[in-house]
Structure 1
Amino acid sequence: MKTRFSALVLLICLSGQLSAQPIALHPENPHYFSYKGKPTVLITSGEHYGAVLNLDFDFITYLNTLQKDGLNLTRTFTGAYREAPGDFGIENNTMAPKYNRYSCPWAKSEQDGYALAGKKFDLSRWDDAYFKRLKEFVGAAEQRGIIVELALFCPFYEEGMWSISPMYSFNNVNKLGHIGRNDVYTLDKNGGLLAVQEAMVRKIVTELNGFGNLLFEICNEPYFGGVQLNWQHRIADVIVEAEKNLPNKHLITQNIANGAAQIEKPHPAVSVFNFHYATPPKTVPLNYGLNKVIGDNETGFRGTADSTYRKEGWEFLLAGGGLYNNLDYSFTSVLPDGTYQPGPKSPGGGSPALRKQLAVLKDFMYSLDFVRMKPDTVLLASPLPANLRFHALGETGKQYGIYVYNRNHPKRNEPLTLSLNLPGGRYRITYVEPETNRPEAAEKTPAFRRFGDPDNPRFRSGSGRNFTYPMTGSHWVRTRYLNKGAWISRSVSTGILITSRS
């Protein structure tokens, strides 16, 4: 009887795991995701990665805030890396837990001597309480429709950061890690830590296999701290090996560079290539041919203004990216609802207002059938002034998503004529103000116009039509094809007149 009962429990658990259907690349357009059978773009403004490792952080309040604000991604670190108060000038840093409030995969020993006071760590034993908290976090995110990108490792930027790591020899009882910080993530100089790192990856991957809302990121910013590329590839192999006989297979993400870089010889198991501070989004066209998701999963170091990071998101996604994560310093352990106001020394911004603005971007993307679209490099018919940048996604003759970025914010009204190469047809043109999503934008716009209609000389091919709407700073325009005719193959230029204000 006991044997039958055990088999039944195992079958039920296994069935639950099989039904998770993890987030995957979209089969029709792998530049985007598919989750629960629906095309998916990931957009968020999330906390500074300490949701699990900082025991004082109320992640339920945090996740409720993301859900309320209409966002669908969070990025967090495993705890293999942590920071100390004051690092990077971050105020109330969630990655810098207070004394005895730090949680990581490894259990504490009975021996005193950890660098930040307390017991040393035993790298051969797991902390059950940590894994319970980790699974509670991922599960709570799943219930709210939020994807978790879990960064397994992070380089040690300074000696002080290495000196407080459990992997540093003075902080563990295993006498491992008596090496310099630039040798930690190598295959040949790791001081015995490679086996510890591989074991941690296998443990985490196995514990979380039943969740579908999960991406595994190999290492945050591996272009610092001596992280070897072959070590990154080894960790990717370990993830694949660990899931080989498990029900679910999860996507692996890799952080490539700050800004832009062309990826050469990518690891075949990596499905998402992430960049930091990827503005302007030059890295998207550089790597679009890989047919994988390109992400901008960290922002910052350009002040605290909402407009800076709102525009970075709009540009990146309208250039063809599939993931955008603004690093939001308004989330702290004291104010996990994201209402803290970052000061002028903060390395980035974040606010309730910005999250609402990014929800406008998310709504816009989801109003498009984006899996049928790709970056349109021929839509713009005439060059723009130097202070403007133009990005467009298009499905030729059917739908277009356009974003015009204004770098200068001129104080005076400045008329702009935007000419587009559109096939002849009938289109609806909608203007939306990205900061407020004011409904009057659509009300002031003609519902639709026919271009290139041989029966209507006013809209004959080449004549176009001007539409006017006041544009504050940056603006996007969406044109959606409604009714094609015999003139579909004809090319016309439509002028959209936009007044730019400060």
Structure 2
Amino acid sequence: MSIKKISGLLFFVFCTFTFGLAQNGPIKLLETNPHYFEYKGKPMALITSAEHYGAVLNQDFDFESYLHTLHEEGMNYTRIFMGSYFEIPSKSFSIKHNTLAPEASKVIVPWIIKAENGEIKYDWSSSNPAYFERLGKFMKLAEQLDIIVEVTLFSSIYNDDHWEMNPQNPKNRAGETGTLDRKLVHTTENGELLSLQKSYVTKLVTELNGYNNFFFEIQNEPWSDRPYTALNIANTYAIDGPNWQAKVDLADEKSLEWQEEIAETIATAEANLPKNHLIAQNYSNFKAPIASVSKHISILNFHYNWPESATWNYHWNRVIGFDESGFAGSEDMVYRRQAWAFMLSGGGLFNSLDYSFFVGKEDGTGVNEAPGGGSTALRNELKILSETLHSLDLKKTKPDQSALVAAPGMTGYVLSTGNESWLVYLIDAGKSTSQITIGAKSHNTFKVESINTLTGEIQDLGNYVANNQKLEFPVTLTEGEIALKITISKDF
């Protein structure tokens, strides 16, 4: 064989190996459009309606049935807490059935649980093989089902009752004495706990490194531990107010310093491991213009998002996540509309906190008393959104609100999919029938199709010619909302 042929063969082997690594590596930001993900060589948005984060740490929860339900219903993402925080049965935010609040005997955490003088103690110097076996089974099945897992390492500790039974509390750690202010737990001023937290993170990073289907999140709702109010959203333009639902709180400097330490711990641990995984940071409720983003952070998470959380932070060129829904009733309509509005504003991740999943109802058919929603019907509707987005070329997709010149009596959100094509979502804001105007640069004929956001039914609304840089056509909403696909017609 000639040298030229050998060189060509070696180059082919190298390219095949490199492409294989790219195809089989961890989920990452989409290189050509980092507002979305790439997984197994394909662009991806993450959309789900998932349980309340206790699938691993609650041994009563049948995660196999749960994961299969997500997969069968078209959901591609779930979120889990890792054991540094869980809640108290019957005493957790008015939730009747709460997967994050296992019975005491059914809690499983990364450490060995001991009894000292009749009290439960967590031995932070140990490793619990049963926990990591359960975690491994969960991750393996999720990977087989193409479900991406958000691995949330820490959470705010919302009240004294939760701190009383928390594994990070010195009085609950084996061989420890003393006290710690719960509002200092997630700061660098927490004494010897900081080194224990870093060891816990490093252990989880190491154990999970072989999996491709996950990313880390540092802390759930850090602003609850250490808030400073940045914005009032009750139209007062003041920054004070007692109602958390009328204001935006951000984490303070001590919290941000600690979060950076944890992000650095993840990065340092993975520097010596085969794979590197994305890291998310949770910034605020509702909406906020983020002042700075760490070099370690690839996903910007918010809770109970307004579309502005995506609009105001789009310039950071990261995925922007609607990481948790809720506190807006139990009706599917609320969370379906939140999802469409946010994702068409430039979001790349949506997680509806789904209270229809709990122990005994891992198929998501439960009826729950909770500060949020969730149902089989909602998941079917979110599947329609997911399928619609994934039918687009996400490498080119970007928000284009300016394209919607007029929609009298309606609220609208727009994604441009390139080459004068758009996905538009409209909500009744006083009118169910209106004349829509789209800004079109070319004098082309456009095909308009409607998508019923509840059933997925697609209807051809006809072809319309753009004149004077305007494309105009009538729309009648179905169920108070509709999605439209607008493309240049190939028949003209």
TM surpasses 0.5? yes
User: CA 1:369–1:20 in 2, change beyond 3 Å: closer, same or farther?
Assistant: closer
Cross-structure match for 1:96:
101
2:373 matched to 1:349? yes
User: CA 1:248–1:316 in 2, change beyond 3 Å: closer, same or farther?
Assistant: same
2:291 matched to 1:287? no
Give the AA of the match of 1:93.
Answer: N
- Please point out which of 380, 384, 387 is paired with 2:404: 380
1:468 deviation in Å? 4.5
Cross-structure match for 2:183:
182
What is the CA–CA distance in structure 1 between the aligned matches of 2:274 and 2:144, rounded to whole Å? 20
Cross-structure match for 2:385:
361
Cross-structure match for 2:129:
128
1:437 deviation in Å? 1.6
Cross-structure match for 1:84:
88
Superposed counterparts of 1:71-470, under 5 Å = 71-86=75-90, 87-114=92-119, 119-175=120-176, 178-188=179-189, 190-226=190-226, 228-279=255-306, 281-343=307-369, 346-382=370-406, 384-385=408-409, 388-406=410-428, 414-423=432-441, 424-438=443-457, 441-443=458-460, 445-446=461-462, 449=463, 451-452=465-466, 460-461=467-468, 464=471, 466-470=473-477
The answer to whether the 8 A contact 2:78-2:148 is kept is yes
User: CA 1:159–1:465 in 2, change beyond 3 Å: closer, same or farther?
Assistant: closer
1:374 deviation in Å? 1.2
The answer to whether the 8 A contact 1:176-1:192 is kept is no
Instruction: Give the secondary-structure state (helix, strand or coil) at the position aligned to 1:402.
Output: strand
1:368 deviation in Å? 1.1
2:58 matched to 1:54? yes
The answer to whether the 8 A contact 1:151-1:217 is kept is yes
Cross-structure match for 1:67:
71
1:288 deviation in Å? 0.4
In the alignment, structure 2 segments of 5+ residues that lack a partner are 1-19, 227-250
User: CA 1:187–1:350 in 2, change beyond 3 Å: closer, same or farther?
Assistant: same
What is the CA–CA distance in structure 1 between the aligned matches of 2:175 and 2:491, rounded to whole Å? 71
Give the AA of the match of 1:187.
Answer: T
1:453-472 per-residue CA deviation (whole Å, 9 max, x = no partner) reads xxxxxxx5467553454422
User: CA 1:468–1:235 in 2, change beyond 3 Å: closer, same or farther?
Assistant: closer
1:110 deviation in Å? 4.5
The answer to whether the 8 A contact 1:389-1:405 is kept is yes
User: CA 1:170–1:320 in 2, change beyond 3 Å: closer, same or farther?
Assistant: same
The answer to whether the 8 A contact 1:205-1:243 is kept is yes
What is the CA–CA distance in structure 1 between the aligned matches of 2:205 and 2:428, rounded to whole Å? 43
The answer to whether the 8 A contact 1:167-1:176 is kept is no
What is the CA–CA distance in structure 1 between the aligned matches of 2:172 and 2:452, rounded to whole Å? 53
User: CA 1:142–1:186 in 2, change beyond 3 Å: closer, same or farther?
Assistant: same
1:67 deviation in Å? 0.4
User: CA 1:252–1:339 in 2, change beyond 3 Å: closer, same or farther?
Assistant: same
After TM superposition, the score normalised by the length of structure 2 is 0.86
Instruction: Give the secondary-structure state (helix, strand or coil) at the position aligned to 1:224.
Output: helix
Cross-structure match for 1:477:
484
Instruction: Give the secondary-structure state (helix, strand or coil) at the position aligned to 1:307.
Output: helix
User: CA 1:207–1:294 in 2, change beyond 3 Å: closer, same or farther?
Assistant: same
After TM superposition, the score normalised by the length of structure 1 is 0.85
Cross-structure match for 2:243:
none
1:236-264 per-residue CA deviation (whole Å, 9 max, x = no partner) reads 00000000011100000000000011111
1:423-481 per-residue CA deviation (whole Å, 9 max, x = no partner) reads 3223221101111223xx415x22xx2524xxxxxxx5467553454422121111123
| CA RMSD of superposed structures (Å) | 2.0
Instruction: Give the secondary-structure state (helix, strand or coil) at the position aligned to 2:478.
Output: strand
1:111 deviation in Å? 2.3
User: CA 1:265–1:177 in 2, change beyond 3 Å: closer, same or farther?
Assistant: farther
Identity %: 39
* Equivalenced residues, count: 444
What is the CA–CA distance in structure 2 between the aligned matches of 1:172 and 1:364, rounded to whole Å? 49
1:363 deviation in Å? 0.8
The answer to whether the 8 A contact 1:425-1:481 is kept is yes
What is the CA–CA distance in structure 1 between the aligned matches of 2:51 and 2:420, rounded to whole Å? 38
User: CA 1:193–1:176 in 2, change beyond 3 Å: closer, same or farther?
Assistant: farther
Instruction: Give the secondary-structure state (helix, strand or coil) at the position aligned to 1:88.
Output: coil
The answer to whether the 8 A contact 1:168-1:176 is kept is no
The answer to whether the 8 A contact 2:26-2:276 is kept is yes
The answer to whether the 8 A contact 2:451-2:483 is kept is yes
What is the CA–CA distance in structure 2 between the aligned matches of 1:403 and 1:468, rounded to whole Å? 11
What is the CA–CA distance in structure 1 between the aligned matches of 2:380 and 2:195, rounded to whole Å? 44
The answer to whether the 8 A contact 1:431-1:469 is kept is no
User: CA 1:375–1:192 in 2, change beyond 3 Å: closer, same or farther?
Assistant: same
What is the CA–CA distance in structure 2 between the aligned matches of 1:363 and 1:19, rounded to whole Å? 21
